[in-house]
Structure 1
Amino acid sequence: MKNSCITLPAIRGIQAKKEYFVVMCPLHYVAGLFQYTDPTLSPEVRAQRVLNKQRIPEMRDYILDNPDSYVFSALTASVDGEMCFLSDKNSINNNVGILTIEGGARIIINDGQHRRAAIEAALKKNPALRFEHIAIVLYYDYGLKRSQQIFSDLNRYAIRPTKSLNILYNTREEFSNIIKNSISNIPIFSGSVETEKTTISNRSPALFTLSGIYNASKDLVKDIEECTNFSKEETITNFWNVLAEHMQIWQLAKEKYISAEQFRKEYICAHTIFLRALGIIGNKLIRKYPNAWEKQLSKLDNIDWRKDNEIYTGMVIINGKINGSRNSLAALVKHLEDILEI
């Protein structure tokens, strides 16, 4: 393929007053189409970052595990060589046609090298994927500086979605679905969850984050099947509902006797680290008291959860602020163990 012309169906367009193309490329072309960036070169003379091989297995398995639903966005590349576009005479649009790239042209990936590597790895496991396609956006190569600028521009405004948003939109992962289903059956959570962000703004009426509930519930049901006859969803629903009966401050915030802002500002039980600690404690509690864990939670009835309670200084309050470190989480878990006699 490197020594012969490459012909692909394409759409022609104009961007920044320059001609460019979007082609539909068979997956088995992808591995040999692009020229690799030498990882030994310094960053100043590379067109983009070095391939992180540790990312490839997960991306490869995503394709292999979801053959009927995987989605990969377009790759972006620059072509150092001649490209000839021929309009399709049968199309009413003269920008639809066939693109021919001269043999020996250098094609450098500006964005998508990890997707390309994952496709190559997936093809080795499942050769039938060669009949599928991925879109590639092709620009003319105007030199190293231009290629570096394309990489910079494409990644400048890229923002990873928050964990809460990933959980909300992930219909494939079983535990994400369990959490979303459970929340609607847990009154203290239902209608009070920030589903897009991992932090809650001062003016938000939300009391908890979806990611916080997800992580805490995962701690709760970790390897718990041997200790209960209930499903994970039933255990999650039962635990948080029983616990909420003994968390007076949660109830006051839910019923708006105190504002959500005051709840977060004044009480440690409003924060994700507290949820995580409760999830870990719940797991320990169910293991130790499989038939009586509900009664143990009544010991939380009269606990002072205010941040200005001196017992939390140095434990989870550092320099006047909530500290979410592992050490703080471990200290809070130990404190709750003492209260619940675990």
Structure 2
Amino acid sequence: MKSTAPEESEDLDTAVYSFPAIRGMQAGREYYSAMVQLKLIPTIFRFNESEVPPQIRSQRVLNQARIPEIANYIVNNPRDYVFSSISASISDGRVKFIPIDSKNHASKLGKLVIPMEAKVLINDGQHRRAAIEVALDDRPELGNETISVVFFIDAGLKRSQQMFSDLNRHAVRPTKSISILYDSRETFAQSVREMSNILLIFKDLTELEKTSISNRSRKMFTLSTIYQATAALLGKKTKVKKITHEEEKLAHEYWNEVAKNIPEWQLLIRGDVASSSLRSDFIHAHGIALHALGVAGHDLIQEYPDSWKEQLKELHSVDWSRSNSEIWEGRAMVNGRILKNQMNLALTTNYLKQKLKIPLKPDEAKIEKRFMKQYPGSVQ
């Protein structure tokens, strides 16, 4: 049974949509899980709430920036995209469920009939709906594919608002690390995973699931930090990242060379010191340092394409000790606590670039000048 275009219904005396559906019961209310063709999604969910005040809406306003990303995901992966169900409320009491077995009115399998004039409001999935509409402009052949829609009979605005709250309250986005771990589509993510299993500074020392590391953990860096740092090293800023064999080789060489020039990392590799001990005492045992080394490394290789390995020996002159507040306070630390925001990352990178004899760019020089005014006792 396929979802259908509008048809006439004698019972409802109006044009209707009809969908194959399963009837269920939740919190004492009937709901219906239906298979809806993608080409019908923009038509059915046609009501725009963006002009309605928040207190009388049942949904948040669309974040337009998210739509192209989701649409491109469908368009670029027509054979293996996947979408979870859309949840919606129908504000029309004339909705009918017709059991497939006319002799068994309690049957859970059947056809859901919705008046075409009914108002259907999305409780969860408005960005998917908008992205589907955009994707169909590029790939109209996807219109006959289906997405599951869970239809609830609307019990008023208050109930719809509560449904939105309940559906999103317990939704937890996966961590960046675990998204990278499970991503089989992005070749860059695959390369970073492989690197974390091969390079001695990362092998068995990478937190694969979380984006932070507990004080007692034996892990050194998170997978997401290695990903960010390597992306910075290779100058990759787009969301969909690919990697060439030459780039992969360069990343391996760079991180191996960095590890050779940080003595405490060598101790860690040999098992002579614990990661937790390094985190307590050194800046280089935190994600901000790895990310800054990636950013600085990109400019290092451009500035010294034939001798960057030799330049990395200057890392021996860096005092990475957290106790050296003259260097790190205001850069990687605030009141003795490690922070990693964009400004801290930029200031930490600036310091490393100066130690590696890499000229600061004009915007970096401005940041450095402001910092030295704020922290006149700091060491450059």
* TM-score (ref. length: structure 2): 0.83
Aligned to 1:200: 213
Between 1:272-281 and 1:142-151, the stretch displaced more is: 272-281
Name the CA distance, whole Å, in 2 between partners of 1:91 and 1:297: 80
Name the CA distance, whole Å, in 1 between partners of 2:190 and 2:284: 25
- 8 Å CA contact 1:37–1:46 kept in 2: the answer is no
Residue 215 of structure 1 and its aligned partner are, at CA, apart by: 1.0
Q: Secondary structure at the match of 1:20?
A: strand
Name the CA distance, whole Å, in 1 between partners of 2:175 and 2:305: 35
Name the CA distance, whole Å, in 2 between partners of 1:104 and 1:285: 63
Aligned to 1:226: none
Match of 2:344 among 324, 328, 333: 328
Name the CA distance, whole Å, in 2 between partners of 1:123 and 1:91: 40
- 8 Å CA contact 2:73–2:81 kept in 1: the answer is yes
Aligned to 1:7: 18
Name the CA distance, whole Å, in 2 between partners of 1:7 and 1:325: 52
**1:166-208, Cα deviation, whole Å (9 max, x unpaired):** 2111111121112112222211101111111211112321100
**Residue 339 of structure 1 pairs with residue 352 of structure 2:** no
**Residue 23 of structure 1 pairs with residue 34 of structure 2:** yes
Match of 2:52 among 18, 35, 41: 41
Match of 2:309 among 272, 294, 301: 294
**1:205-262, Cα deviation, whole Å (9 max, x unpaired):** 1100111111111111127xxxxx9711100111111211121212323444333222
- 8 Å CA contact 2:196–2:223 kept in 1: the answer is no
Q: Secondary structure at the match of 1:99?
A: strand
Aligned to 1:270: 285
Q: Secondary structure at the match of 1:101?
A: strand
Please list, as runs of the form range in 1=range in 2, the aligned pairs for 1:308-319 lying within 5 A after superposition.
308-310=323-325, 311-319=327-335
Residue 302 of structure 1 and its aligned partner are, at CA, apart by: 5.3
User: CA 1:109/1:242 → structure 2, altered by over 3 Å: closer, same or farther?
Assistant: same
**Residue 184 of structure 1 pairs with residue 200 of structure 2:** no
User: CA 1:261/1:149 → structure 2, altered by over 3 Å: closer, same or farther?
Assistant: same
- Give the letter for the 1:199 counterpart: S
Please list, as runs of the form range in 1=range in 2, the aligned pairs for 1:203-282 lying within 5 A after superposition.
203-222=216-235, 231-282=246-297
User: CA 1:106/1:178 → structure 2, altered by over 3 Å: closer, same or farther?
Assistant: same
Which ranges of structure 2 fall in alignment gaps of 5 or more residues?
Answer: 1-5, 8-13, 237-243, 359-380
Q: Give me the identity figure in percent.
A: 42
- Give the letter for the 2:291 counterpart: R
Residue 159 of structure 1 and its aligned partner are, at CA, apart by: 1.6
- 8 Å CA contact 1:76–1:138 kept in 2: the answer is yes
Please list, as runs of the form range in 1=range in 2, the aligned pairs for 1:131-170 lying within 5 A after superposition.
131-170=144-183
Please list, as runs of the form range in 1=range in 2, the aligned pairs for 1:104-123 lying within 5 A after superposition.
104-123=117-136
Residue 119 of structure 1 and its aligned partner are, at CA, apart by: 0.9
- Give the letter for the 1:148 counterpart: Q
**1:104-151, Cα deviation, whole Å (9 max, x unpaired):** 222111111111111111112221111100000011111110000000
- Give the letter for the 2:331 counterpart: M
Residue 160 of structure 1 and its aligned partner are, at CA, apart by: 1.6
- 8 Å CA contact 1:188–1:241 kept in 2: the answer is yes
* TM-score (ref. length: structure 1): 0.92
- 8 Å CA contact 1:217–1:279 kept in 2: the answer is yes
- Give the letter for the 1:287 counterpart: Q
Name the CA distance, whole Å, in 2 between partners of 1:304 and 1:149: 55
Aligned to 2:375: none
User: CA 1:38/1:90 → structure 2, altered by over 3 Å: closer, same or farther?
Assistant: closer
Aligned to 2:366: none
Between 1:206-215 and 1:287-296, the stretch displaced more is: 287-296
**Residue 85 of structure 1 pairs with residue 85 of structure 2:** no
Q: Which structure has the higher relative contact order (CA within 8 Å, separation 6+)?
A: 1
- 8 Å CA contact 2:332–2:345 kept in 1: the answer is yes
- Give the letter for the 1:87 counterpart: P
Q: Secondary structure at the match of 2:190?
A: helix
- 8 Å CA contact 1:110–1:151 kept in 2: the answer is yes
**Residue 125 of structure 1 pairs with residue 138 of structure 2:** yes
Between 1:89-98 and 1:41-50, the stretch displaced more is: 89-98
Name the CA distance, whole Å, in 2 between partners of 1:150 and 1:323: 37
**Residue 53 of structure 1 pairs with residue 102 of structure 2:** no
User: CA 1:47/1:292 → structure 2, altered by over 3 Å: closer, same or farther?
Assistant: same
User: CA 1:102/1:337 → structure 2, altered by over 3 Å: closer, same or farther?
Assistant: closer
Residue 35 of structure 1 and its aligned partner are, at CA, apart by: 4.4
Residue 90 of structure 1 and its aligned partner are, at CA, apart by: 10
- 8 Å CA contact 1:5–1:102 kept in 2: the answer is yes
